[in-house]
Structure 1
Amino acid sequence: MILPTNIGVFGGGRMGAGIAHAFLLAGASVTVIEADATAAAAAAERVGASLNKAATRGALTEPVERIVDRLTVSADPADLGGCGLVVEAVPEIPDLKARVLSRIEEFVPDAVLATNTSSLSVDQLGAGLIRPERFLGLHFFNPVPASELVEIVVGAKTNSELTTAAQHWVAALGKTAITVTDSPGFASSRLGVAIALEAMRMLEDGVASAEDIDTAMTLGYKHPTGPLRTTDIVGLDVRLAIAEHLAREVGARFEPPAILREKVAAGHLGRKTGQGFYTW
């Protein structure tokens, strides 16, 4: 039940770096795998910056240098050797994720594999794995270091003992786990996207400003961030992809509104581009 000593993270973008940060703070040694040397260097810098930011907040219990000593960043998947858990954290592209998971399994056939998908079917992503009973979803939330929640997604073939172990691992990270069965959008994305899409329709219809719609949820319902500002933080392109997936799987109530499609087409993707429903 204890957290594996060696953790792998395949993909060192914003989410992958955040996941690496979380496991490093829990005392694990972490190996991050990227596509090439340039991407690996950028991932190392990303994790380092995240740790330094945490240090300035007084959130670390040991020096950054000592934590970084437990980090390896590489472009060679063979460096995952010895990892007891590997978390896939590449973009939300089903074919890409499935290929990466199969590749990880080739290098560490005895490791537990997890996908950080926010909405894609765990069973479909794991369909090509030799040992799907050792595979599940670990849906971390952005920004990972500050987020308190991890959604454990249990596939049809996931071993029940693995589910229990994952719950203990999440607790070791100082986070709270919820456990859901594999279903479109799981619990968090399905609810979050439903609220966000309705907020977009309200903005589109001129019901209220983005600021007032968000304030209705932060003050009226005690949400820490309103649905439109949250969409900016997550990324409008990410929200669009999830909404399109849910519309196909669940029904027309998740059909993305025109305002979302227009903003994505214009390159207004939220905080990462400086413009979304808000100016950043």
Structure 2
Amino acid sequence: MRRLMMRMASGKGEGYIAQGLAIADFLSAMYFHELRYDPADPHWPGRDRFVLSTGHYSIAFYACLAEAGMLQVEELPTYGLNGSRLPMSTFENVPGIEVCGGSLGQGLGQSVGMALAARLDRNGARVFSELSDGELQEGSTWEAAMSATTFKLDNLVALIDCNGIQADGAVHVAIEPVAEKWRSFGWDTREVDGNDLAALTEALAASREPDGAPKAIVMRTVPGKGIPTLEKRERAHFVRVGNDEWDDLTAEMEAHYHG
């Protein structure tokens, strides 16, 4: 998935690559260890729902959907180009994408509605709702969190990507301690290294417990994970590098993972 993302970013010359690299491990844990879906029928009614509230993480999501068999790898280089159906923020016209993303603070509320609908349909579907630490600055997020507890939505899992960055630099509102805040809202909460595949799969497996409480997994991720040059960037929200640098960054990534 990280290789695919680098190809997509190099074709455009820019993008939200740092966040994409950061959540590759999480998406791998979700789509290849936990999520129930049918690549041949992305709208299968019994599927689990995955909501990517941070629509600008689309570069990683598209790569994941290609690996999962819902997108063609050949389409990925059109990411962010005029006329492409793969914009820099997710749209519902792409197979496997449940909601339009990018209007931050909305994903968890939509997920609460989906979880309630799944309960009414009695189809056993679970809803996984990704959101960012920046979105914890939005009141709508906490309203949705309270609703989930009120309705005892134990088929809902919030996945909080804590990467410490937002558009204008570091997350500067006092959102910590994140895990304790979710627990105080009545969520069954775990905190993990968001770049540790084993820890992620274990936490996701534990979230299956039908105990009457919504689940939260706080994931501590590293922007630009796997490429030391990008990991060291202070402002990594939207990355632009010279066209001649992408091959060097890709080589750095390959060396990091394969020596």
Q: TM-score, normalised by structure 2?
A: 0.38
Larger Rg: 1
More helix per residue: 1
- The structure with higher relative contact order (CA 8 Å, sep 6+) is 2
